Amino acid sequence: MDALVLLRSGAEITAAIVAGVMALFAAILGIMPARVSLRQPMVRGGRGWRPRPLILVLVVSFSCRPSDQNTVRLPTQTAERGDDPPVMINSEPPVEYPAALFERGIEGKVLLRLYTDQAGRLVSDSTRLAESSGYPALDSAALAAAPLFRFAPALKNGVPVAATFLQPIHFRHPQAGGTTP
């Protein structure tokens, strides 16, 4: 018997939600019922409680407030398929972690500016340090390994093109708790 009562009240709640959404659309379109009473938000009918449309419109409209300014909005425009930067194809990055910094547990990130041709080959004289890790030894290790990088070419509308891009090199110690600048 109790399960039947719960099912009935759940069905009534679902009916109230559907009625509220329909009333909201009616309010948006300007189609409001001729008789709306604020004194009696619910009317007892033959099938149970039926909500009055105006109350439901108010409840639904207050619950659907616009998001606050701290909400992150997703971009409305997505990247076109076929426009891709060069992708490193080395199975293992050929960068050697400087032993002295590794022993001390020092970590960091180096950002290199690289240029590849249409075949994905790195143009050797183009390698530049875009952002230092704060540790000259990490920066030097990243710059020394750059000629060993292999890339799939950048694509523009699905066609291979030459490209300048930023390549991050992360120096992470296997034991957590290192110092990152």
Mean pLDDT of 49-77: 57
pLDDT band for position 83 (cuts 50, 70, 90): confident
> What are the distances in angstroms from CA 20 to CA 31, 64, 114, 142?
14, 12, 58, 61
Higher pLDDT, 38 or 170: 170
pLDDT in tens, 113-157: 999 999 999 988 889 999 999 999 999 999 999 999 999 999 998
Q: Which of 2-11, 55-64, 81-90 has the lowest mean pLDDT?
A: 2-11
pLDDT surpassing 50 at residue 42: no
> What are the distances in angstroms from CA 101 to CA 41, 137, 144, 160, 168?
71, 8, 16, 39, 18
Q: What is the pTM of this model?
A: 0.52
Structural domains for the chain: 2-63 (no CATH), 87-171 (3.30.1150.10)
